[in-house]
Structure 1
Amino acid sequence: MYAQDNSRARFTRKGLVLAITSLAISPLGHAQNTTDAQKAVSEIVVTSRYTTNEQLNTATGLGLTLYETPQSVTVMTAQRITDQNLDSLTDVVNSAAGVSARAQDSTRHTFSARGFAINNYQIDGIPIYWEPGGNAGETQSNMSLYERVEIVRGATGLLTGAGNPSASINLVRKHADSPVLTGSVDLSAGRWNTYGATADVSTPLNDTGSVRGRFVGHVEQGESFRDLAEESTTVFYGTIDADLTDSTLLRVGASRQENEPEGSTWGGLPVWHADGSRTDWDRSKTIAADWTSWSSTVEHYYLDLIQEFGDWEAKFSVNNNVNASDQMLLYLSGTPDKETGLGMSASPRNAATEREQTSVSLQLSGQYGLLGRDHELTFGVVDHQDDSLATSYVRDDDTVAPVGNFNEWDGSYPQPTWLENKVDIDQTTDQFGVYAATRLSISDPFKVILGGRLADWEQSGPYYGSPRDYGDDNVFIPYVGALYEFNGQHTLYASYTDIFQPQNAQDSEGDFLDPIRGKSKEVGLKSLFFNGALQTNVAVFSILQDNLAQPLIGVPIPGKENSQASIAAEGAESQGFELEIVGELNPNWDLSLSYTNFDVEDANGNPVNTENPNELFKLFTTYYFEGQLEGLTVAGGVNWEGRSYTDAENLVTEETERLEQDAYALANLMVRYEITDQLSAQLNVKNLLDETYYSQIGFYRQLEYGEPRNFTASLNYEF
């Protein structure tokens, strides 16, 4: 329906004819179990700019569409990322259905879904693991590297192995898939003297186009709404796709992102004054010094070899990811006096981290016949190693200067004298998994998905002075799903998914506890409208954490002094529902709307994980004008979050106090005008109404303010 030109879709008159033809032949555009004519048309029709009918591997590995997957899956398309000017992974999470982000300081964010932290990620479907709030640029991943982002909510252990029953985020790289020279150049300027440039070029590397290359470069630098803060980001990415034969594809690529900030914060602003009353700072207030920085470098290297034979495909992949950071930081804590500003203490830090992950995987997928029907099967093997190293310098406490009057803090604080270097963390984590899944076509409308993973997980090495050597072998992770389609456009589905998380806890006999099990159940209804251009999903879910370690007060671990044994118990349970509507209302009008509501309680019925909102509403809609206003596109939306809070002890009164962020909404606006077929100008305004809110409150009994109104103007040239 759309002529795709470097990820920016334009509605064409030819596309309208195809759309009308497809509506006449196949009102719902669903190719499965249709005639050959219907299948031919459905292959021509591309769904809307904000959703996709592509086959995705993020949830099951079976190459199913969103409509065919028995879980809640959201795809943030290239056009959506462009329209909302979503620069980083954190920006994407803040705008995607069912997930939320929470700041820890100027550098780190944690992501959450359905009441649990997200620590499972994939790049082109290959699992990687990031600690929540990773300190080496993980949540700052720049979107110039990726074609789209896929988010599967619930437990995802079938493909990702160990982790939390929250969600898995799959970052889909840009690939060299164009046999002709094409590309784009973007120039941008924004508030706080922020300037950026992005180039994305694809080109054939031989006469036939069987060998193709793609290069992406991105640079951005500017200041911030926080005092002293500056940001500098540089991204380079190169990839080659080579058709070795008609059925063999080789992909190799490498990327590097450098983040070089200044005036970085570590933690947040104080919540209380010395008299126990609450503080009220300007949003520009900072705890940084003029020498603090939390720089990071993220490198990715990959090789994919894909071989097709008949109805089957084999994919061999090698991925290497290195996340490193250098930290020159200052942590300020205490309760400053309202008048004098005295009462804060300083804790400087000079440290470095490096995390290298290497994955080797082989996947085989295809169709097979059984009892007169066609079915799908996937089988995979993944070997993953994760090496983490963290070092820090010992400081000379005699050279740590007093903070002085925090009310007049300007960052002119001296560095202490740094002494010898020491190793804090030196750990190796090995994961090995074998998985398989099949989709059984019981009848034309009824499909059943059965799958499982057999997983090993081992971790060893020192962690802040304590040796760790534990893990679990032969953990079985089941996957069960069922889908029933009726009226040709609605599918009722149910699924049970599982995930595990090893735990470093021992019982009264000295044995390590079984891993925590995250058990996710989901029932929903998926529907297609307007030839599949508009898709909806309504889901009800329940997630239970089982085998969570609880302390046995007064019972030591045999052979370990000053230790405490544990017992496995039922952990937190999350129950709720989600609604998502995404796609086209008509060929000129795109819509993305979602609502999420859930409650998370521990085994005693007490609310847990309340620092993240349990109610989310997200809306973004875009309209392409015709007639005299042709070339003009206007878009707007709102991200609304319900109340979140943390109960903490007031540092002065020693009484429990609720640190709360009330429900708030951030409005956004976009206007774009196509000056010519190749040149367009765009304006984005975020936090249009200049809402004052906390990006976090309660983390280490501190607070961070969210970004005030921000605007970015850009020019885009396509060729």
Structure 2
Amino acid sequence: MFRSFRPVFKFALLAASALSVPAFAQDAAWAPEEGEASGRKDDTIVVYGSGIDRNTAATGLDLTPRETPQSITIITREQIDDQAASTVADVLEYTTGLSVKRVDRGRNLLSARGFDITAFQLDGLPFATGNVGLEETSTAIYDRIEVIRGATGLLQGAGEPSASINMVRKRADARELTGEVNVEAGSWSHVSGLIDIGAPLTADGSVRARLVAEVYSQDAFVDIESSNGFTLYGTIAADLGPGTRINAGASYQRDERDGVMWAQLPYWYADGSRPDWSRSKTTGADWNEWDTTEKAAFVSLEQDLGGSWQLRGDVSYFEQVEDSKLIWLSGNPDRETGLGMEIWPYWYLTKPKQWSANLRVKGDYQLFGRRHELVVGAMYSHQKGGWTNRDPDPASVAPVGDFHAWDGSYPEPTWGDRYRMSGFGTTEQTAIYGATRFQIIDRLKLIAGGRLSSWTRDEEEALYTPEPYRIEHKNIFTPYAGLILDFNNFLSAYASYTSIFNPQTARDRTGRYLDPVEGDNYEAGLKADLMDGRLRASAAVFRVEQSNFAVPDIDPETGDPYFIPGTTDVASRAAKGVVSKGYELEMQGEPLRGWDISVGWSHFKAKDPDGIDVQAHQPRRVFRMATKYEFGGALGGFSLGGSLRWESRPPQTAKNPATEAIEPVGQKSYALVNLMGAYDLTEALSLQVNVNNVFDKAYYNTNSWFGGFIYGEPRNARVTLRYGF
């Protein structure tokens, strides 16, 4: 029923005052004070160092970014609105140190410091990302997004030493009726609508509710592709008694995408020359569908125990249904005739489910005449997954024909019965963890902690796993140590260390499962709160050492991949002694009243012992910059902003089909420029215009080794009319 839906209105409640936090201040965690009307504008300027930017994303302790011995970026609700970011992936594209690339037109692949990002959290509880990742969820339901770069095993457990992305959902905190109404329209027939209302349910405001509902519909710059969907979210908060609080909520997101391009555009013609495909060129068919549904629910209970001590329990659930009926085109077409492409129809269905629970207690204690902090907790996660497929009747699969003339009008084949293909099984992880911050002397603090984990994977029988198996790792200890030295009231130096443990289900060319990834993560840097906390700057260096890191197993002589026996999956090999090292620079804040700026630079190298680049499809140098200025005087109410993204050429190569020479195929270095302008028509009504890729740069936006590429989006615009009350 939603495929033909064309919404007209978009409604939303401001989670933060439109003037309260620098629009592009990525390092300020802001949340409305208890009882504050979160949907109204006022003249309050919340800047860095104001005492409300503490978070627990790195260690579980309440720390400001300068007190955190890792690189941390917090993207506020206002920045999300200013960028007109529809999905979490849109937000992360302009986050320091992160690379966001498309695998195809249905999925993204995120990376940082040379490693894939697989660690996601919802309100601090870890969840595994799926085939269509959590980064594709709508931003409508989130208050802010916290990114901790580097290894985060203390709270996350098993995972990559790249980054952890914590998506913090909006809370029911309004003690009077507040809300916002938006209407949005843009390029490629984009229209969307969202309602976000908060209100007390009791006269004294002890019980509060919040409702978010969003709908959208749009076409795409790629031929025959269109999508539409909706998101629903509701949450209730209640003060049950002195020191007792409960929050509960649920969300439902449905996205229906038609004509989606799965396979990439080929790098070469059969004669080894490079084609110049139109950016609208597709490899999809008009009957392609890539539909997803995400369901989530949570409940958290907090109890004050006296003094500074607090007990908190959280339980959260996430479920996804992905139904994708697609075709994969492969090969290199003849330059003249367009012939030579092969086709593979595929009908994928998966329904992964995840539970996560956490119980923790934290507070202060006195020792040796000084006050210290402690957090202790226990965590449990349960994942159930697997996917099925339907193969086409070979006799009903038509040839591709002339790829030059391909327009998606390809006949749908006859499908066979559905069968279990792979991934059926259960993954469980249990852990106890703890961390303490010792105040050694007035200006020197030590954060020390550890996690004791057990990880089990029980795989069931399916096509790719003809025999059930169990992978089990017990009593894995993950240490964490961080040292912070305050030179004065605004400048600190830090150093941190943690280990890495990541079980993997990747298999080699013989079908054997690789051993777990193990290694060490080191980071050191400087952090400064300048101009009375209005401007924050940081510099970090890092080094990651890993063994058994899974990389695609490619024949060095031919450039062809090896495959897992009996499958079409590329085999992996365990790279010994992989080292990633580099540095990051970041500055955010408000150097002058009304002028907000965020600048970030990251640079890394990642190689195996033979000097071969690991994750060669990732850019090694990335620059991010965003700025906004709010005018005063006669131009009061008007603001102008912009952003810049530059990336270096990744060291990616592939084999030329004609010469068999190994050639560079990564996107050459490029820059994208976006502009934003907004005007307050009245105190409650504002108009905002966003123009992305202003200079209409044509570029590859690909992060894969599948032998082809995906174009990035051409120039596009979006207009938002926002009314708050």
Normalising to structure 1: TM-score of the pair? 0.90
Give the alignment's Cα RMSD to 1 decimal. 2.6
The one-letter code matched in structure 2 to 1:247 is: G
Q: How far 1:135 sits from its partner (Å)?
A: 2.6
1-structure distance, mates of 2:524, 2:19: 36
For residue 713 of structure 1, the aligned residue among 712, 719, 724 is: 719
Secondary structure, in 3 states, of the residue corresponding to 1:139? helix
Q: How far 1:339 sits from its partner (Å)?
A: 2.1
Go from structure 1 to structure 2 and tell me whether the alpha carbon gap of 1:50 and 1:261 turns closer, same or farther (over 3 Å shift).
farther
Go from structure 1 to structure 2 and tell me whether the alpha carbon gap of 1:697 and 1:548 turns closer, same or farther (over 3 Å shift).
closer
Task: Please say if residues 50 and 76 of structure 1, whose CA atoms lie closer than 8 Å, have aligned partners that are also in contact.
Answer: no
Q: Does 1:686 align with 2:692?
A: yes
Q: Which residue of 2 aligns with 1:63?
A: 62
Task: Please say if residues 50 and 80 of structure 1, whose CA atoms lie closer than 8 Å, have aligned partners that are also in contact.
Answer: no
Q: Does 1:345 align with 2:342?
A: yes
Q: Which residue of 2 aligns with 1:630?
A: 636
Secondary structure, in 3 states, of the residue corresponding to 2:666? strand
Q: Which residue of 1 aligns with 2:370?
A: 373
Q: How far 1:346 sits from its partner (Å)?
A: 1.1
1-structure distance, mates of 2:581, 2:598: 24
2-structure distance, mates of 1:505, 1:290: 34
Q: How far 1:317 sits from its partner (Å)?
A: 0.8
Deviates more, 1:626-635 or 1:46-55: 46-55
> C-alpha deviations, 1:590-624, integer Å up to 9, x for none?
11100111111112222221201111110000101
2-structure distance, mates of 1:191, 1:48: 35
Unaligned runs of 5+ in 2: 1-12, 23-27, 29-42, 556-564
1-structure distance, mates of 2:266, 2:16: 44
Q: Which residue of 1 aligns with 2:659?
A: 653
Q: Which residue of 1 aligns with 2:282?
A: 286
The one-letter code matched in structure 2 to 1:455 is: S
Q: Which residue of 1 aligns with 2:594?
A: 588
Q: Which residue of 2 aligns with 1:36?
A: none
Q: Which runs of structure 1 show a deviation greater than 4 angstroms over 4 or more consecutive aligned residues? A: 49-53, 504-507, 510-514, 547-551, 565-569
Q: Which residue of 1 aligns with 2:516?
A: 515
For residue 442 of structure 2, the aligned residue among 432, 441, 444 is: 444
Secondary structure, in 3 states, of the residue corresponding to 1:82? helix
Task: Please say if residues 544 and 572 of structure 1, whose CA atoms lie closer than 8 Å, have aligned partners that are also in contact.
Answer: yes
Q: How far 1:338 sits from its partner (Å)?
A: 1.9
For residue 10 of structure 1, the aligned residue among 16, 19, 26 is: 19
Q: Which residue of 2 aligns with 1:485?
A: 486
Q: How far 1:8 sits from its partner (Å)?
A: 3.0
Task: Please say if residues 648 and 698 of structure 1, whose CA atoms lie closer than 8 Å, have aligned partners that are also in contact.
Answer: no
Secondary structure, in 3 states, of the residue corresponding to 1:375? strand
2-structure distance, mates of 1:603, 1:56: 38
1-structure distance, mates of 2:550, 2:142: 38
2-structure distance, mates of 1:628, 1:86: 30
Q: How far 1:363 sits from its partner (Å)?
A: 1.1
Go from structure 1 to structure 2 and tell me whether the alpha carbon gap of 1:9 and 1:50 turns closer, same or farther (over 3 Å shift).
farther
Counterpart mapping for 1:270-419 below 5 A? 270-309=266-305, 310-419=307-416
Go from structure 1 to structure 2 and tell me whether the alpha carbon gap of 1:388 and 1:678 turns closer, same or farther (over 3 Å shift).
same
For residue 267 of structure 1, the aligned residue among 260, 263, 280 is: 263
Secondary structure, in 3 states, of the residue corresponding to 2:404? helix
Task: Please say if residues 575 and 600 of structure 1, whose CA atoms lie closer than 8 Å, have aligned partners that are also in contact.
Answer: yes
Q: Does 1:203 align with 2:202?
A: no
2-structure distance, mates of 1:288, 1:620: 35
Secondary structure, in 3 states, of the residue corresponding to 1:168? strand
2-structure distance, mates of 1:216, 1:689: 35
For residue 454 of structure 2, the aligned residue among 453, 456, 459 is: 456
Instruction: Give aligned pairs, total.
Output: 672
Q: Which residue of 1 aligns with 2:36?
A: none
Task: Please say if residues 19 and 45 of structure 2, whose CA atoms lie closer than 8 Å, have aligned partners that are also in contact.
Answer: no
Go from structure 1 to structure 2 and tell me whether the alpha carbon gap of 1:547 and 1:657 turns closer, same or farther (over 3 Å shift).
closer
Go from structure 1 to structure 2 and tell me whether the alpha carbon gap of 1:156 and 1:593 turns closer, same or farther (over 3 Å shift).
same
The one-letter code matched in structure 2 to 1:123 is: L
1-structure distance, mates of 2:230, 2:519: 38
Q: Which residue of 1 aligns with 2:8?
A: none
Q: How far 1:63 sits from its partner (Å)?
A: 1.3
Q: Does 1:188 align with 2:184?
A: yes
Q: Which residue of 1 aligns with 2:474?
A: 473
Secondary structure, in 3 states, of the residue corresponding to 2:65? coil
Q: Does 1:178 align with 2:174?
A: yes
Task: Please say if residues 576 and 609 of structure 2, whose CA atoms lie closer than 8 Å, have aligned partners that are also in contact.
Answer: yes
Task: Please say if residues 224 and 259 of structure 2, whose CA atoms lie closer than 8 Å, have aligned partners that are also in contact.
Answer: yes
The one-letter code matched in structure 1 to 2:543 is: S
Go from structure 1 to structure 2 and tell me whether the alpha carbon gap of 1:141 and 1:566 turns closer, same or farther (over 3 Å shift).
closer
Q: Does 1:600 align with 2:606?
A: yes
> C-alpha deviations, 1:326-365, integer Å up to 9, x for none?
0110111111122221111111111211110001210111
Task: Please say if residues 472 and 514 of structure 1, whose CA atoms lie closer than 8 Å, have aligned partners that are also in contact.
Answer: no
Counterpart mapping for 1:147-166 below 5 A? 147-166=143-162
Secondary structure, in 3 states, of the residue corresponding to 2:110? strand
Q: How far 1:567 sits from its partner (Å)?
A: 11
Secondary structure, in 3 states, of the residue corresponding to 2:228? strand
Q: Which residue of 1 aligns with 2:85?
A: 86
2-structure distance, mates of 1:624, 1:582: 16
Deviates more, 1:69-78 or 1:693-702: 693-702
Q: Does 1:609 align with 2:615?
A: yes
Task: Please say if residues 6 and 184 of structure 1, whose CA atoms lie closer than 8 Å, have aligned partners that are also in contact.
Answer: no
Q: How far 1:211 sits from its partner (Å)?
A: 0.3
Q: How far 1:498 sits from its partner (Å)?
A: 2.2
Normalising to structure 2: TM-score of the pair? 0.89
> C-alpha deviations, 1:183-228, integer Å up to 9, x for none?
1111100011100111111000111100000001111101100000
Q: Which residue of 2 aligns with 1:19?
A: none
Task: Please say if residues 302 and 310 of structure 2, whose CA atoms lie closer than 8 Å, have aligned partners that are also in contact.
Answer: yes
Q: How far 1:53 sits from its partner (Å)?
A: 4.5
Q: Which residue of 2 aligns with 1:640?
A: 646
Q: How far 1:651 sits from its partner (Å)?
A: 3.0
> C-alpha deviations, 1:563-600, integer Å up to 9, x for none?
xx999873321111111001111221111100111111
2-structure distance, mates of 1:104, 1:566: 18
Go from structure 1 to structure 2 and tell me whether the alpha carbon gap of 1:640 and 1:511 turns closer, same or farther (over 3 Å shift).
closer
2-structure distance, mates of 1:98, 1:468: 38
> C-alpha deviations, 1:424-463, integer Å up to 9, x for none?
1211101111100000011111100001000111111146
Q: How far 1:512 sits from its partner (Å)?
A: 8.3
Task: Please say if residues 443 and 486 of structure 2, whose CA atoms lie closer than 8 Å, have aligned partners that are also in contact.
Answer: yes
> C-alpha deviations, 1:83-108, integer Å up to 9, x for none?
11111111111111110111011110
Q: Which residue of 1 aligns with 2:135?
A: 139
Q: How far 1:629 sits from its partner (Å)?
A: 0.1
Unaligned runs of 5+ in 1: 16-28, 30-43, 554-560
Q: Does 1:701 align with 2:700?
A: no
Counterpart mapping for 1:245-260 below 5 A? 245-260=241-256
Q: Which residue of 1 aligns with 2:425?
A: 427
1-structure distance, mates of 2:253, 2:49: 27
Q: Which residue of 2 aligns with 1:666?
A: 672
Secondary structure, in 3 states, of the residue corresponding to 2:154? helix
2-structure distance, mates of 1:693, 1:400: 33
Go from structure 1 to structure 2 and tell me whether the alpha carbon gap of 1:627 and 1:543 turns closer, same or farther (over 3 Å shift).
same
Q: Does 1:223 align with 2:232?
A: no
Q: How far 1:698 sits from its partner (Å)?
A: 5.6
Task: Please say if residues 659 and 697 of structure 1, whose CA atoms lie closer than 8 Å, have aligned partners that are also in contact.
Answer: no
> C-alpha deviations, 1:673-698, integer Å up to 9, x for none?
00111000000011111100001176
Task: Please say if residues 150 and 171 of structure 1, whose CA atoms lie closer than 8 Å, have aligned partners that are also in contact.
Answer: yes
Q: How far 1:122 sits from its partner (Å)?
A: 0.6
Go from structure 1 to structure 2 and tell me whether the alpha carbon gap of 1:601 and 1:423 turns closer, same or farther (over 3 Å shift).
same
2-structure distance, mates of 1:521, 1:406: 50
2-structure distance, mates of 1:61, 1:83: 30
